[in-house]
Amino acid sequence: MLTKPQITNAIKFTRFESKRRITVSLGASNEEPSQSAHGVAFIRSAASQQDPTQRSEWGTGDPIYLHFAVEDTGCGLSANERNLLFARFSQASPRTHTKYGGSGLGLFISRRLSEMQGGAIGFASQRGVGSTFAFYVKARRSDPPVEDVTLTTQETPELTATRARAASAAAMANEKPVDGGVAESVAPQAPTKQPSAPLETATPTANLHVMVVEDNLVNQRVLAKHLRNLGCIVNVANHGSEALDYLRTTKFWTGKQDHGADLDVILMDWEMPVMDGLTCVRKIRGLQLDGSIRRHVPVIAVTANVRTQQVQIAMEAGMVSCFS
């Protein structure tokens, strides 16, 4: 879980680079590290948590430290931008959100989680070269598992007779015997009336045309795959501007009703680069008012912004519903 923000950032910040490589490294040590094998110095906050492995549920094994690092060939950070990382709701610069999206919480949460597990996080970055984010957590060695020793017994006449008696008793009790003389209870089946013809059921989502508007590539692919598994026909957009471009090719657009692409609903993220979800849905409602879009477009917000006030803002912007 802790590596997810680092991997997501590595994917995001290498998206527009000509050289794109992401390397994930794992390691372990008996001693608490002061820096990672990649030369990343770890940073601990003043409010770091007490060592959790001192509690009884962690056992009494020797301490061990697990190391993780994510290295990318992305745009990297300048000296001034590096000073802003790991702060709550803080990003390297205002253009970071505009170009790449995000809320500035991922690395802040990563630092807190690593420290709550007796570890720390750090990074090294150079503008135009790339970044490496590394962290470690503390754990304890566990005792080796007890070997499962299975005793084997040769089949004897007495054992054969025992199996036969178990099978007979199971049959008398209306039970189904299974291998080894263990029986599974089978409830009596009441007679049921068979339908004269098989009933056909329709999947509500079958052939539903959905556009997923999401800048996080992992979330985008997971949601699209899940919808396709449900029978939906899915198109994706990385931000609101791409969503508007696609909308112009659909049957919602005036003049395209006979030969445009099919579209039933839009699932719209809120926080996105280039054009966020609220701006996009406001533009869609404006295009409906001036006649460029000939009928109402259902747009559902799919976002972590689900507080009452945030939901109200989304609905006022033109969303028809909100899901988190």
Tens of pLDDT along 198-212? 444 445 666 899 999
Task: Give ∠ CA 39-45-49 in degrees, rounded to 5.
Answer: 110
Domains 3-140 and 209-323 share a fold: no
Model confidence pLDDT, tens digit, residues 237-294: 999 999 999 999 999 999 999 999 999 999 999 988 889 999 999 999 999 999 999 9
Hey, what are 240's tokens?
Answer: 């609101």
pLDDT band with cut points at 50, 70 and 90 for residue 61: confident
- How far apart CA 64 and CA 31 sit, in angstroms, is 7
147: helix, strand or coil: coil
Is residue 223 predicted with pLDDT exceeding 70? Answer: yes
Say which DSSP state 74 is in: S
Residue 160 exposed, middle or buried by CB count within 10 Å (0-12, 13-18, 19+): exposed
253: helix, strand or coil: strand
Domain 209-323 architecture: 3-Layer(aba) Sandwich (3.40)
Model confidence pLDDT, tens digit, residues 123-169: 888 888 888 888 899 998 887 766 655 544 455 555 555 555 555 55
- How far apart CA 313 and CA 305 sit, in angstroms, is 10
pLDDT at 104: 52
CATH code that applies to domain 3-140: 3.30.565.10
- How far apart CA 173 and CA 183 sit, in angstroms, is 10
Is residue 214 predicted with pLDDT exceeding 90? Answer: yes
48 against 33, higher pLDDT: 33
- How far apart CA 104 and CA 91 sit, in angstroms, is 5
* DSSP codes, 152-175: -----HHHHHHHHHHHHHHHHTTE
pLDDT at 186: 43
- Print burial letters for 54-66: b (CB count within 10 Å at least 16), e (below 16): eeeebeeeebbbe
CA gyration radius, the chain: 29
Which residue ranges make up each domain of the chain? 3-140, 209-323
pLDDT at 234: 96
Is residue 221 predicted with pLDDT exceeding 50? Answer: yes
pLDDT band with cut points at 50, 70 and 90 for residue 185: very low
The reported pTM is 0.50
Residue spans of alpha helices (H) in the chain:
3-13, 79-82, 94-100, 106-116, 157-172, 217-229, 240-247, 277-289, 308-317
